[in-house]
Amino acid sequence: MEENRYASPFQIGNVTIPNRTVFAPMAGVSDLPFRLLCHEQGAGLVCMEMISAKAITFRSRRTGELWETDPEEKPVSLQIFGHEPDVMGEACRILEEQTFDILDINMGCPVPKIVGNQEGSALMRDPGLIEKVVRACVENTSRPVTVKMRRGFDADHINAVECALAAQEGGASAVAVHGRTREQMYSGTADWSTIADVKKALAIPVIGNGDVVDGPSAKRMMDETGCDAVMIARAAQGNPWIFKEVNAYLERGAILERPPRRDIVRMILRHADMLCECKGEKVGMREMRGHVHNYLSGFPGASRVRGKVNSITTKAELQALLAKEYPYA
């Protein structure tokens, strides 16, 4: 019987990814609690928030908190950003003692502060430097090294193929390509044709990113581009179930309904518990507000309830608000 490539595991170096879905690294979102929830719901690989290589070499306490992992979330990828090969290599040496599976290099972040420091998507202006940065990381880590990039820096510089080839030449084990340029940020439509071009050019796995919002769009991306897996970012916010939904569609063509409201409310409260346990109630509840806004999408009166969520400071207040607003959930 022919293997279903949409459902089978794939390899990134010596790491086996059990299915074809990847939870993207997102600053302020892909922290330990949410990664655990996405993994539980079926994400084949989860990725940490990006960490500054320079900050790692300074050994700051805050940075150490960002790379905390849990055995239950494996396989997990740790993402670093920087532009100086020697600093990137030193960061990799320091990270050797940590418990992650894959080391990822950020070459896609479009934020002006990062780009202005010649990091993130700014690296796509210099494919030669990309090769040097990747090689410095590969030579200083025992893990597979991957790269996440964009389609290009702007509409006049669509060079993902050149940049991906440079990463492969430097020793990268896989590349993820977001079908938008840096100039687009997160607006407009992702152009998947560049992902297809990168897949044709490379011998290593290619992960497609951009506008995957459900099972059908995931399969369509894989069909149109030939990519080895799909990376899901914003569509997972407030919806960790998306990985279960995508896997069900890729494996057997099944379309799962979104969980009932009561299950979403339970997930909100569980997520809040995990965040508070991880970061303390004060910080945890402050960060939880944004997550609650996303979970409430489609709920009746969501806009009004979100306004009330913004003043919540304790788990008890969140529980009381949800019980009052959605008593039958």
pLDDT value of residue 188:
87
The one-digit pLDDT tens for each residue of the chain (329 residues) are: 446 889 899 999 999 999 999 999 998 899 999 999 999 999 999 999 999 999 999 877 677 677 889 999 999 999 999 999 999 999 999 999 999 999 999 999 899 999 999 999 999 999 999 999 999 999 999 999 999 999 999 899 999 999 999 999 999 999 999 999 988 888 889 999 999 999 999 999 999 999 999 999 999 999 999 999 999 999 999 999 999 999 999 999 999 998 999 999 999 999 999 999 999 999 999 999 999 999 999 999 999 999 999 999 999 999 999 999 998 76
Residue that has been written with the tokens 């940590």 in this structure: 98
Which runs of E-coded beta strand occur in the chain? 10-12, 15-17, 21-23, 45-47, 51-52, 76-81, 102-107, 145-152, 174-181, 206-209, 229-232
pLDDT value of residue 68:
87
CB neighbours of residue 226 within 10 Å: 15
**Choice among 38, 47, 92, 109 that is catalytic:** 109
Question: Is the separation of the CB atoms in 95 and 133 below 8 Å?
Answer: no
Domains belonging to the chain, first-starting first, are 10-252 (3.20.20.70), 261-325 (1.10.1200.80)
Question: Is the separation of the CB atoms in 76 and 47 below 8 Å?
Answer: yes
Does the predicted model carry a pTM greater than 0.85?
yes
Dihedrals phi, psi of 126, to nearest 5 degrees: -140, 80
Q: Is 163 a catalytic residue?
A: no
Tokens for 93, please give them. 């040496």
Tokens for 204, please give them. 């290593």
| Contacts with 245 (C-beta within 8 Å, 6 or more apart), sequence order | 214, 215, 255, 256, 258
